[in-house]
A and B are shown apart, each in its own frame.
Chain A
Amino acid sequence: MPKTLFDKVWESHVVDRMEDGTCVLYIDRHLVHEVTSPQAFEGLRLAGRTVRRPDATIAVVDHNVPTTDRREPIREEESRVQVETLERNVADFGVPFFPINDTRQGIVHIIGPEQGISLPGMTIVCGDSHTSTHGAMGALAFGIGTSEVEHVLATQTLLQKPAKNMLVQVDGTIGAGVTAKDIVLAIIGKIGTAGGTGHVIEYAGEAIRALDMAGRMTICNMSIEAGARAGMIAPDDTTFAYIKGRPFAPKDDAFDHAVAYWRTLPSDPGAHYDTVVHLDAGAIAPMVSWGTNPEAVLPITGTVPDPASVTDDAARAQMIRMLDYMALTPGTKLTDVPVDVVFIGSCTNGRIEDIRAAATIVRGKKVAPGVRAMVVPGSGVVKQQAEQEGLDRIMLDAGFEWREAGCSMCLGMNPDKLKPGERCASTSNRNFEGRQGPGGRTHLLSPAMAAAAAVTGHLTDVRELS
């Protein structure tokens, strides 16, 4: 029977299957960060358990860390305690760790692929919903809760039922100024925040194949915003070229053996998908979110929607609430919406390619008066690379802040947050109420669109910027 990419990776990791279909699923890579792991390590200690496979585990600090000078201790006590707790736990349990001053430190979903830790055909988990990012490698990667983190640490397995298969086919080619971020926002806008519930999404089609690995990671990263358990893209020559030579990737003969295996992973012709969705890449414009969940998106050419045009009572009430929170008036052109802050970074768009895209727009221009703009590289390695390319100078000369690596303003857990009422053009992944700080207002968009908003001071169609 023809199988999907998901079927193949799933079936090759089933250790045992119970009567009701629940499987004991083997986990190849476990990524650990400071926020969702302390209670898991504490659980191990209380039960007298050890970490079964420290050599399949990697820990890093990202959510809490300030993105300012790393020589300073973390001022906020609770954040410091959480970071120190992880440092103690990795030492006690022998878990490999990239500490705060290691160049390899960064957002957990940036460093996995970057270091060659996340590879095709693997099962990869992390106590973080954006683990779906690693699916871009052709891996089955998904977020888990802290109890499951403890379960993986103790057993290197998880108890899971198989997901359904969804195919999102994006045919054609994207136009100038349109990026992977716009594709995924268009997908979520089409299928909704619960459209992928119970499914693993496989992204396929000409427009997906044409993306570089950074773009593929952006797409898979936001699978969870469509409610999917994971997102995957079949590994191909683009994938293998990306992996070759990375620090933890197989080397020499081992690499060739691995590639031969990875070539068996793509979905078989005729494989069954429970749900199929088609998009025409050529019809996708640069996208921006206007509301407080990631399905509330529109092309930048659009206007703020009018609740009066919505017939369903509950949907209308939700739209009114969202517009009220976002302080937007129906009928306003999206390009007339001013911004206070621009944030370029996060596990969605904190890679070198994202910073290059922003720098291309910003080069020779200035951040608009009154706008605070910041670039937060996704890892120390990304930061170093950008500095070697001179991208930091371009951004600094334009008036951007140039920060150290971390989750930063994506989630309001560290000193980088919005003030109440501030409006932010953000390359991150969630526009929930208060996500970037209590009362903060988020517009999700691509790095190029964020850069364009920074230099004009309002949401801008990057295609019309000279």
Chain B
Amino acid sequence: MQAFTELTGIAAPLPLANVDTDKIIPARFLKTIKRTGLGVHLFDTLRYGPAGEERPDFVLNQAPYRHAEILVAHENFGCGSSREHAPWALLDFGIRCVIAPSFADIFHNNCYKNGILPVTLPREICDQLMDDARLGGNARITVDLVRQVVIRPSGEEIAFAIDPFRKHLMLNGLDDIGQTLQRATKIDGFEGNRTAEQPWFPGITV
């Protein structure tokens, strides 16, 4: 996983609530066996017309936002399915940070696993950042994970919260599995006790 320390980039405004994972990437694009290549289908139904033509009114089809690295949205971003194809599509497009008043739980988790930073800030702050984002190529927003601040184009700093363990993994680009395997002895012990205490669960063999 790519480490995330600090990011300065163009932010795309997406003033929609309840952006579901079918909207981020429709199910028909989940037939891939790879993690890459999904960026072209990001927000497919919002981004393209019936004949596959770009909809000029959609933000990511507009010049400065084709290079957006930050997305600013409204409440409950990423609701719906568990598909990790949603963060994969965002990442493949170039988005490394999503800022919203709230996120759906599974999507929120999936972002961290892919080096995408989900930043939760109150709605009124998100609305200010949305206005900044509307300045397009004339503005840059900085997200500094080390200091846990979002820096507006005006220089104003806004603090955000993150779990210390998540932060540690993100800053160092660490793989969760490697972290957990450091506790292999504890897992062995737990598993042994559990089998001894509850021997009635049969294993699955078909």
Contacts and interface: CB of A to CB of B under 8 A. Distances in A.
A411 interface: yes
B158 interface: no
Given A96-B204, A148-B113, A261-B198, A15 B187 contact: yes
A28 B79 contact: no
Interface string B75-97: 11001111110010000000000
B131 interface: no
B181 A314 contact: no
Contact of B102 (A19, A150, A194): A194
Is chain B's interface secondary structure helix, strand, loop, or mixed overall?
Answer: loop
B134 interface: no
A229 B106 CA distance: 8
B203 A56 contact: yes
A39 B201 contact: no
Interface residues of B, number: 59
A24 B76 contact: no
Contacts of A131: 82
A430 B206 CA distance: 32
A145 B82 contact: yes
Given A15-B186, A56-B204, A147-B110, A193 B81 contact: no
B74 A193 contact: no
Nearest to B20: A432
Contacts of A104: 206
A145 B107 CA distance: 8
B204 A318 contact: no
Interface stretch (A202-210, A249-257, A279-287, A375-383): A249-257
B74 A78 contact: no
Nearest to A254: B200
B16 to A, nearest CB: 8
A161 interface: yes
Interface in B170-206: 176-177, 179-181, 183-184, 186-187, 190-191, 194, 198-206
Contacts of B82: 36, 127-129, 131, 143-145
Contact of B183 (A15, A76, A145, A433): A15
Contacts of A352: none
Interface of A: 15-16, 18-22, 24, 26, 28, 35-36, 38-39, 42, 47, 49, 55-58, 63-64, 76, 78-79, 81-82, 85, 96-98, 104, 117, 119, 122, 127-129, 131, 142-148, 150-151, 154-157, 159, 161, 193-194, 197-198, 224, 227, 229, 248, 250, 254-255, 257-258, 261, 293, 314, 318, 411-413, 420, 430, 432-435, 438-439
18 contacts: A21-B163, A36-B82, A39-B84, A55-B203, A78-B32, A96-B206, A144-B106, A144-B109, A145-B82, A145-B113, A147-B110, A147-B176, A155-B181, A197-B76, A224-B106, A227-B79, A258-B200, A434-B45
Interface of B: 17-18, 20, 22-23, 26-28, 30-35, 45, 50, 74-76, 79-84, 87, 102, 104-106, 109-110, 113-114, 163-166, 176-177, 179-181, 183-184, 186-187, 190-191, 194, 198-206
